Homo-oligomer: A and B are copies of this chain.
């Protein structure tokens, strides 16, 4: 799946009105399912999940504010951002003064419509641009929200690429945002593209497409006995904006996933942030009881761009090139995770004679020692059972790939063995 194909997927998913439950999520997963086989689980309203309960299911068909002439001055059909997510049904006539507390705008970005939700407090409201609000007369207005908030279920989906090991690498994307492209349709598209690239991996790869917070909590509640199998995890979001990549470390701070992503990012402009308990679902995976090795990968992080959580985050804001760049980094991270091992030098007393094994240039005295030979010397020197190839790459300041190739050459020569 190339950048254009990822962008096309973003555009196709964009109009759907998603929320943390409901048919918008289901329709989104159907489309993802055209690319990847998904295991979809419906968890009924009221199910206890960790400290939470699965909420009622929300669905919406239409919503508007009409003036006396019948013109929709705020229209859900035009953009699903116009309705506060999880708005209860309403039908009635209101003056502007009565409506005003329920109308959300961004005074500092007067052209943009904000994204607002109210999942756990039953209310209703509309979002619109400040300019649109300023243009409204006193009313009265006919107001309709044709929604339902009823017992139903919450939907989570998984795609698994089985590996040789039961240990898992988890990529998690939230699918609960309505018409917002970077947050998080770009993440979904890149995850799909990554899943399609994996062929007979060593680790088992699990892709999670779930609503934010409650989705992760539901999944964790249902998989509590299995999470010890998670060797590495990433939440993937904001994967398509033109900014450079940002990695947020896991709560552990120096897990293999942290080392791997930082190693890959080293060669390009990027930022690394320490863990903080805000952001995406790494919050849940890194809660102290689980403390899983989960980092977060974004381009510009949440709330870091003016279009964040507004109608400005549309498909024009995300680019094929940016999504390809994110995919490229993820592919390299997978490569590092797949290749990282700890080896034990079987000839640790002095250097083994590389020359007679064909591993060393024969003409001595030259000063342009090659990277490949340095990598072999580093692997031999640090393969005391305490250093992984990632540790060696970091310490030697050599590319991971060079270190990995050196280790394979030494393995083939019988000079190292993999640590049990």
Answer whether residue A196 sits at the interface, using C-beta atoms and an 8 A cutoff.
Answer: no
**Do A365 and B287 have beta carbons less than 8 Å apart?**
no
| Nearest residue, chain B, Cβ from A274 | B395
Complex CA–CA separation, A303 to B369 (angstroms):
10
Answer whether residue A92 sits at the interface, using C-beta atoms and an 8 A cutoff.
Answer: no
Question: What is the distance, in angstroms, from A22's C-beta to the closest C-beta of chain B?
Answer: 16
Question: Chain A binding site: helix, strand, loop or mixed by DSSP?
Answer: loop
Interface bin, chain A:
35 or more
Answer whether residue A317 sits at the interface, using C-beta atoms and an 8 A cutoff.
Answer: no
Answer whether residue A45 sits at the interface, using C-beta atoms and an 8 A cutoff.
Answer: no
Contact mask for chain A residues 107-151; partner B; CB cutoff 8 A; 1 contact, 0 none? 000000011111111010000000000000000000000000000
Question: What is the distance, in angstroms, from A386's C-beta to the closest C-beta of chain B?
Answer: 9
Complex CA–CA separation, A367 to B302 (angstroms):
8
Complex CA–CA separation, A307 to B121 (angstroms):
65
Residues of B within 8 A of A349 (CB): 50-51, 220, 224, 287, 289-290
CB within 8 Å of B: which A192-238 residues: 213, 216-217, 220-221, 224
**Do B220 and A308 have beta carbons less than 8 Å apart?**
no
Question: What is the distance, in angstroms, from A372's C-beta to the closest C-beta of chain B?
Answer: 13
Question: What is the distance, in angstroms, from A100's C-beta to the closest C-beta of chain B?
Answer: 15
**Do A353 and B303 have beta carbons less than 8 Å apart?**
no
A303-B350 contact, Cβ under 8 Å, with A120-B362, A251-B381? no
Q: A50-B349, A288-B384 are in contact. List 15 more A-B contacts (CB 8 A).
A: A51-B347, A51-B350, A116-B363, A213-B351, A224-B349, A277-B351, A277-B374, A278-B374, A278-B377, A287-B348, A287-B351, A288-B381, A289-B348, A289-B349, A302-B367
Question: What is the distance, in angstroms, from A317's C-beta to the closest C-beta of chain B?
Answer: 16
**Do A278 and B380 have beta carbons less than 8 Å apart?**
no
Answer whether residue A299 sits at the interface, using C-beta atoms and an 8 A cutoff.
Answer: no
Complex CA–CA separation, A221 to B350 (angstroms):
9
A351-B283 contact, Cβ under 8 Å, with A116-B365, A120-B356, A364-B116? yes
Complex CA–CA separation, A349 to B217 (angstroms):
9
Residues of B within 8 A of A351 (CB): 51, 213, 217, 277, 283-284, 287
